[in-house]
Structure 1
Amino acid sequence: MSAAAAGEDGPSPPPDPTSTSALGATSAPASVPAPVPASGPLTACLADLIPAVARRRVCWHGAGCLAVLLCVGYLARRHWPVVRAGVERLAVADQGWLLVGAVAAVGTWAASALAQQGAVTRRLPTGRLIAAQFAASAANHLLPAGLGAGALNLRFLMRCGLSASRAAGALAVKAGAAGAVRLALIALLALACPGLLRVPHFSPAVLAAVLAAVALLAALVAVPLRPRCRRAVTAVLTDIRAVHACPLRTAALWGGSLAFATLHCAVFVAVAKAVELPLPVVQVALLYLAASTAAALLPTPGGLGSLDAALAFALTASGAPAATAASAVLGYRLLTVWLPLPPGLVVLAVLVRRKAL
Structure 2
Amino acid sequence: MERPARPPVYRRIPVRPILCLLPLVVVGVWVCRHRSLIGSGARQMVTANPYWLLMAVATTGLGWVAVSFARQGTVLERLPAGRLFVTQFAAGAANNLLPSGIGASAVNIRFMTGCGLPAARSSAALALYFLAEAIARIGLLPVLLVAFPEALRLGPLLPERDGTAVVVAEVVAVVCGLVPAALAIRPVRRIVRTFVRTALADARSLHLRPSRALALWGGSLAFPLLQAAGLVAVALALELEVQPPHVMLAYLAATAVAAVVPSPGGIGSVDAALVVALVAAGAPVESATSTVLAYRFITVWLPLIPGALVLGTLVRSKIV
TM range (shorter): 0.7 to 0.9
Q: Which of 20, 27, 42 pairs up with 1:41?
A: 20
1:216 CA displacement: 1.9
Aligned residues: 300
The verdict on how the C-alpha distance between 1:221 and 1:193 changes in structure 2, with shifts beyond 3 A counting, is: farther
Larger RCO of the pair (alpha carbons < 8 Å, separation 6+): 2
Q: Secondary structure at the match of 2:261?
A: coil
Q: Which residue of 1 aligns with 2:179?
A: 218
The verdict on how the C-alpha distance between 1:201 and 1:162 changes in structure 2, with shifts beyond 3 A counting, is: same
The verdict on how the C-alpha distance between 1:172 and 1:94 changes in structure 2, with shifts beyond 3 A counting, is: same
1:135 CA displacement: 0.3
CA distance in 2, matches of 1:318, 1:298: 22
> In the alignment, is the contact (CA less than 8 A) between 1:268 and 1:288 conserved in 2?
yes
1:310 CA displacement: 0.9
CA distance in 2, matches of 1:334, 1:216: 40
Root mean square deviation of aligned Cα: 3.0
Q: Which residue of 2 aligns with 1:202?
A: 161
The verdict on how the C-alpha distance between 1:40 and 1:291 changes in structure 2, with shifts beyond 3 A counting, is: same
The verdict on how the C-alpha distance between 1:219 and 1:324 changes in structure 2, with shifts beyond 3 A counting, is: same
> In the alignment, is the contact (CA less than 8 A) between 1:112 and 1:133 conserved in 2?
yes
> In the alignment, is the contact (CA less than 8 A) between 2:73 and 2:216 conserved in 1?
yes
CA distance in 2, matches of 1:120, 1:197: 41
With 187-196 and 208-217 compared, the bigger mean Cα shift is at 208-217
Q: In terms of Rg, which structure is larger?
A: 1
Runs of 4+ in 1 over 4 A off after TM superposition: 13-17, 37-40, 44-47, 86-89, 197-201, 207-210
Question: 1:135-194 CA deviation, whole Å, 9 max, x = no partner?
Answer: 000000011221100000000000000000010011111111101100111111111122
> In the alignment, is the contact (CA less than 8 A) between 1:312 and 1:326 conserved in 2?
yes
The verdict on how the C-alpha distance between 1:111 and 1:210 changes in structure 2, with shifts beyond 3 A counting, is: closer
Question: 1:81-134 CA deviation, whole Å, 9 max, x = no partner?
Answer: xx96x8655421111110111111111111111111111000001111001000
Q: Which residue of 2 aligns with 1:158?
A: 113
* 1:306 and 2:261 aligned: no
> In the alignment, is the contact (CA less than 8 A) between 1:145 and 1:301 conserved in 2?
yes
The verdict on how the C-alpha distance between 1:197 and 1:258 changes in structure 2, with shifts beyond 3 A counting, is: farther
The verdict on how the C-alpha distance between 1:143 and 1:211 changes in structure 2, with shifts beyond 3 A counting, is: closer
1:218 CA displacement: 2.8
The verdict on how the C-alpha distance between 1:90 and 1:38 changes in structure 2, with shifts beyond 3 A counting, is: closer
Percent of pairs identical after alignment?
A: 44
1:233 CA displacement: 1.3
CA distance in 1, matches of 2:225, 2:219: 10
* 1:142 and 2:91 aligned: no
The verdict on how the C-alpha distance between 1:276 and 1:244 changes in structure 2, with shifts beyond 3 A counting, is: same
Structure 2, unpaired ranges of 5+: 27-32
Q: Which of 96, 120, 124 pairs up with 1:169?
A: 124
With 295-304 and 128-137 compared, the bigger mean Cα shift is at 295-304
Q: Which residue of 1 aligns with 2:29?
A: none
Structure 1, unpaired ranges of 5+: 1-10, 18-31, 48-69
CA distance in 2, matches of 1:106, 1:157: 22
1:227 CA displacement: 3.1
Q: TM-score, normalised by structure 2?
A: 0.84
* Pairs within 5 Å for 1:16-35: 35=14
* Pairs within 5 Å for 1:89-168: 89-168=44-123
The verdict on how the C-alpha distance between 1:106 and 1:333 changes in structure 2, with shifts beyond 3 A counting, is: same
* 1:283 and 2:246 aligned: yes
**AA at the equivalent of 1:235:** T
